[in-house]
Chains A and B, each alone.
Chain A
Amino acid sequence: MSTRLGTGGRLIDRTHKLNFSFNGKRLKGFAGDTLAAALMAENQMLVGRSFKYHRPRGIVAAGAEEPNALMNMGRGAKFEPNQRATTTELCEGLTAASQNHWPSLEYDIGALNQYAARVLPAGFYYKTFIHPRPFWKHVFEPIIRQSAGLGQAPKDRDSDRYEHFHADVDVLIIGGGVAGLQSAVIAGRAGARVLLLEQTAHWGGRAPVDGVEVDGQAADIWINNTVQALEAMPNVRLRARCMGAGVYDHGSVLAYERLTDHAPQTDAPRHRLWKIRAHQIITATGAIERPLSFAGNDIPGVMLAAAIRDYVVNYAVSPGDRTVIVTNNDDAYRTAIALHHAGLMVPCIVDARPTATGALPEQARALGIPVKTGTAIAKVKGGKRVTGVALCQQAGEGSVTEEIACDAVGMSGGWSPVVHLWSHCGGKLNWEDQGQFFRPDPARAPISHDGNAFVSAVGSADGHMLTQAVFDSAAAIGTEIATRLGRKVATEPVNVTGPQEQPLVPVWVMPQGAPVEARSKMWLDFQNDVKVSDVQLAAREGYESVEHTKRYTTLGMATDQGKLSNINGLAILANELNARIPEVGTTTFRPPYTPISMGAIAGEARGDIFQPLRRTPLHDWHEDHGAHWEPVGHWRRPYCFPRGEETHAQAVAREIKATRTSLGLLDASTLGKIVVKGPDAGRFMDMLYTNMMSTLQPGKCRYGLMCSENGFLMDDGVVARIDEDTFLCHTTTGGADRIHAHMEDWLQCEWWDWKVFTANITEQWAQIAVVGPNARKLLQKLGGGMDLSASALPFMGWAEGKIGDFDARVFRISFSGELSFEVAVPASQGRAFWDALHAAGAEFNATPYGTEALHVMRAEKGFIMIGDETDGTVIPQDLGLGWAISKKKDDYLGKRAQERAHMIDPARWKLVGLETLDGSVLPDGCYAVAEGVNANGQRNTQGRVTSTYHSPTLSKGIAIGLVLHGPDRMGEIIEFNKVDGGVIRTRIVSPVFYDPEGEKQNV
Chain B
Amino acid sequence: MFNSVSALPGAFSAGAATVSEAGLVGMVTLKADLTDKKVAAAVFEVGGAKIPGQRCIEIAPAGAIAWMAPDEVLIVCSHADAPGVVADLDAKLTGTHHLAVNVSDARVVFDIQGPGAREILAKLAPVDLHPDSFQPGELRRTRIAQVAAAFWMTGDDAFRLVTFRSVAQYAFDVLAMSAKPGGEVRYF
Q: Given A609-B170, A763-B165, A828-B4, does the pair A167, B122 have CB atoms closer than 8 Å?
A: yes
A832 vs B6: C-alpha distance in the bound complex, in angstroms?
A: 12
A831 vs B7: C-alpha distance in the bound complex, in angstroms?
A: 11
- Kindly report which residue of chain A lies nearest to residue B105, judged by CB atoms: A827
- Kindly report which residue of chain A lies nearest to residue B5, judged by CB atoms: A828
Q: Report B90-111 CB contacts with A as 1/0, cut-off 8 Å.
A: 0000000111011111110000
Task: Confirm or deny: B11 has a beta carbon within 8 angstroms of a beta carbon on chain A.
Answer: no
Beta-carbon contact of A617 and B165 below 8 Å: yes
- Kindly report which residue of chain A lies nearest to residue B146, judged by CB atoms: A612
Task: Confirm or deny: A759 has a beta carbon within 8 angstroms of a beta carbon on chain B.
Answer: yes
Number of A interface residues, CB 8 Å? 53
Contacts of A678 in B (CB 8 A): 97, 99
A165 contacts which of B123, B133, B167 (Cβ < 8 Å)?
B123
Determine how close the nearest CB of chain B comes to the CB of A771; give it in whole angstroms.
Answer: 22
Contacts of A827 in B (CB 8 A): 7, 105-106, 165
Q: Given A605-B145, A757-B99, A759-B31, does the pair A166, B127 have CB atoms closer than 8 Å?
A: yes
Beta-carbon contact of B97 and A757 below 8 Å: yes
Those of B4-46 within 8 Å (CB) of chain A: 4-7, 24, 29, 31-32
A826 contacts which of B1, B105, B125, B126 (Cβ < 8 Å)?
B105
A755 vs B71: C-alpha distance in the bound complex, in angstroms?
A: 12
Task: Confirm or deny: A143 has a beta carbon within 8 angstroms of a beta carbon on chain B.
Answer: no
Most chain A CB inside 10 Å of its own CB: which residue of B103, B106, B124, B174: B106
Most chain A CB inside 10 Å of its own CB: which residue of B119, B168, B178: B178
Those of A808-840 within 8 Å (CB) of chain B: 826-829, 831-833, 836
- Kindly report which residue of chain A lies nearest to residue B147, judged by CB atoms: A612
Task: Confirm or deny: A434 has a beta carbon within 8 angstroms of a beta carbon on chain B.
Answer: no
Contacts of B123 in A (CB 8 A): 163-166, 604
Most chain B CB inside 10 Å of its own CB: which residue of A266, A269, A612, A761: A612
- Kindly report which residue of chain A lies nearest to residue B129, judged by CB atoms: A166
Task: Confirm or deny: A311 has a beta carbon within 8 angstroms of a beta carbon on chain B.
Answer: no
Task: Confirm or deny: B155 has a beta carbon within 8 angstroms of a beta carbon on chain A.
Answer: no
Beta-carbon contact of A609 and B173 below 8 Å: yes
Beta-carbon contact of B4 and A826 below 8 Å: yes
Beta-carbon contact of B24 and A828 below 8 Å: yes
Contacts of B71 in A (CB 8 A): 757
Beta-carbon contact of B102 and A675 below 8 Å: no
Contacts of A805 in B (CB 8 A): 1-2
- Kindly report which residue of chain A lies nearest to residue B83, judged by CB atoms: A807
Beta-carbon contact of A829 and B99 below 8 Å: no
Beta-carbon contact of A806 and B2 below 8 Å: yes
Q: Given A166-B127, A268-B182, A828-B4, does the pair A613, B187 have CB atoms closer than 8 Å?
A: no
Contacts of B133 in A (CB 8 A): 168
Those of A144-186 within 8 Å (CB) of chain B: 161, 163-168
Determine how close the nearest CB of chain B comes to the CB of A635; give it in whole angstroms.
Answer: 7
Q: Given A604-B174, A757-B31, A828-B24, does the pair A165, B129 have CB atoms closer than 8 Å?
A: no
Beta-carbon contact of A829 and B183 below 8 Å: no
Task: Confirm or deny: A765 has a beta carbon within 8 angstroms of a beta carbon on chain B.
Answer: yes
Q: Given A612-B147, A612-B167, does the pair A679, B2 have CB atoms closer than 8 Å?
A: no
Q: Given A168-B128, A612-B167, A757-B97, does the pair A269, B105 have CB atoms closer than 8 Å?
A: no
A632 vs B47: C-alpha distance in the bound complex, in angstroms?
A: 38
Contacts of A677 in B (CB 8 A): 99
Determine how close the nearest CB of chain B comes to the CB of A2; give it in whole angstroms.
Answer: 37
Those of B51-67 within 8 Å (CB) of chain A: none
Contacts of A806 in B (CB 8 A): 2
A266 contacts which of B97, B128, B182, B185 (Cβ < 8 Å)?
B182
Most chain A CB inside 10 Å of its own CB: which residue of B124, B125, B130, B177: B177
Beta-carbon contact of B166 and A275 below 8 Å: no
Those of A595-652 within 8 Å (CB) of chain B: 603-605, 608-609, 611-617, 634-635
Task: Confirm or deny: B181 has a beta carbon within 8 angstroms of a beta carbon on chain A.
Answer: yes
Beta-carbon contact of A761 and B177 below 8 Å: no
Beta-carbon contact of B106 and A763 below 8 Å: yes
A133 vs B101: C-alpha distance in the bound complex, in angstroms?
A: 69
Contacts of B106 in A (CB 8 A): 761-764, 827
10 interchain pairs (CB within 8 A)?
A164-B124, A266-B182, A609-B177, A614-B167, A617-B7, A634-B167, A757-B32, A759-B103, A763-B107, A828-B104
16 additional A-B pairs beyond A168-B128, A763-B107, A832-B2, beta carbons within 8 Å, are: A166-B123, A168-B133, A268-B183, A609-B173, A612-B147, A612-B170, A612-B171, A615-B168, A634-B167, A675-B101, A677-B99, A761-B103, A764-B101, A805-B2, A806-B2, A831-B5
Q: What are the 8 closest A-B residue pairs judged by CB atoms, nearest first?
A: A268-B182, A832-B2, A168-B128, A757-B99, A827-B105, A614-B166, A828-B4, A763-B106
